[in-house]
Structure 1
Amino acid sequence: MVTCTDMAVLCGNTPETCYNKYGSTTVRLKCCHEMALRILLRSIDSHANRYSRYIEPLLSISVDFYVRVFVRLHTGARRTKDSATKVGNVIACSGCHSMEVLPILKKVEDGKNVKYCTSVVRQSMMGTDNKCVHCGHPVHHAGPIYIGPIHDRKFVEGILTSLKETPEEERLGTHNRLMGVLTNVSEEIDVPLYYEHDQLFNVVKCSVPKAVSVKSAILNAGYEVSGSHCNPRALKTNAPTHFLWDICRSAAKEANVTAERHDEKAPGHKILSEPIKNEVSFQLHPGATQQTKNEQMVRFQCNKGKNWGPRSKAKGSINSTLAGFYSKTQETSE
């Protein structure tokens, strides 16, 4: 188990400090808490690789004011090589907040032969001018981060089963919260990072549809989508970014929002100037609602109570430079 409380460093305020401590750089994104988890996992795995070891993430959570990961260490030089295929870089647009993950290495198997080679760059975000193809703004680079699974589904389901079978008189005071957080984790799909469901609609200045409607549009197109335990408004999906913008264009069209409402240099102007290339259906999909909806679960803790959060470091009542003086004076008086 590893816990980190320096979220200001991991979430993008000081990328140079993040690089010095964890060997990765970060940018300010809505998904900064999951990115913090993946930076931490990559750092642990990188240190383990130096000793021919590799990690197996069991549970990775971002909660309250810290991140905590539970990993299992394995030894094996051959399997250690696979760690390089679970690491990637992130490119993120500074205008429309689009992002894409680029793996560093790929594994090619040809019968009994196994070869590791650099991945072919097939990113669809940057144009020939090195700017975002969606809005024309500069694109930032961050990473590397861990892009493999950050949870072991069987491990999480085992904990949930154990919690459910615990007699009521033996349950912890945080039982409902544990059930809620772990249930959120069990419902997450294995996709790196996420958007906030209102994040993209704010770029085009369109009224934000309900989260169920947005998830239905993604599911109706044949893609996967889920929430995240890191953020109650998270939209984790394997749908390509251009399809997500088509969803925004469709919603803007229904609300009579056009490109003329935006400044020519604004991200929303170029996005709404492009035609809708994919069919978008907001019809309710049965998989868009949470399958394990339970009113007693505390899925997301309200952290606005009194005395919540990390406190300031302890301070002495006597200045350290005068500590010796006061002690001698007291001894003399006695």
Structure 2
Amino acid sequence: MEQNKVALKNMTEDELKDFIVSIGEKSFRGTQIFSWIYKGAKTFDDMRNIPKNLREKLDEVSYIGNIEQELKLESKVDKTKKYLFLLNDGNIIETVMMDYEDRVTVCISNQVGCRMGCNFCASTLEGLIRNLEPWEILDQIMKIQEDTGKRVSNLVLMGSGEPLDNFENTKKFLKLVNEKNGLNIGYRHITLSTCGLVPKMYELADLGLPINLALSLHSPFDEKRREIMPVANAYKVNDLIDACKYYIKKTNRRVTFEYSLIKGVNDSEKEAKEIVRLLKGMLCHVNLIPINKVEEREYERPDKSYIYKFRDYLEKNNIPATVRISMGSDIGGACGQLRRKHK
């Protein structure tokens, strides 16, 4: 990381203008520099209408902030692309682009590794290495747009890491990505996924941003959920549901409950019945995810008939539910798998 220099990509347009004034220059230069950053300038010398003495001054006190593409895999099954990006300190993160007919969605990482310890996830096997800075989260999108020439319209914060465990940087990232003259991605096109850090869920709701919240539920029973997700030792299922109801009240946005179906663990009718009881009357949706096999874990996905039986039970009881189609299944399925193999 650049010592004692500030990352310009960490700044909103107004913050950049203020910064430029603070180093003795005119405010309009901040607007020009901001524009260059979002045109993909990698160095200050790329900023052709910025005077040489200002470029030299910027180089002394700041850096733009760039991650590098280390590897790209393209699916032969669909239009999914999986990227490994190299950070300035040598760490590697994973990002996925899903190209649908009507939109381009990018699944971004928020941390290097993760400390949540969920038993079905490869991202958490080595624990948390560090938080990503706001610009490192943002630059995943910028580099994918640059590589593909396509505008990213939708974002899911579902890559490696727990966004609410990196809350301050996540908040700043959400502000940056929504900047009118920057990437200008609307809040309603952003989904943040959490394994349920209840106090932070309330803080997120209080921001009043109309982003979509996705909660990793994985079992409606506390005891079973603790087996699958260590974070459940801190927060009970009822506390999660209360936090989700508060989120809906504050934002008027539907909450998605992510439910990884694990053969013989959480896929019985008993679980389906309890989900119906818990979610009755809520503005919500259940996303059923047949788990990807992680080599270091013993979990397996249920048979297809079981998966659809589970969905049909929820639907019949007025809980909207879908089965997530696995994108890019031929290029390192499970979250965090590609990064581990590459390392």
TM-score (norm 1): 0.26
Q: Which of structures 1 and 2 has the bigger CA Rg? A: 1
Q: What TM-score results when the alignment is normalised by the length of structure 2?
A: 0.25
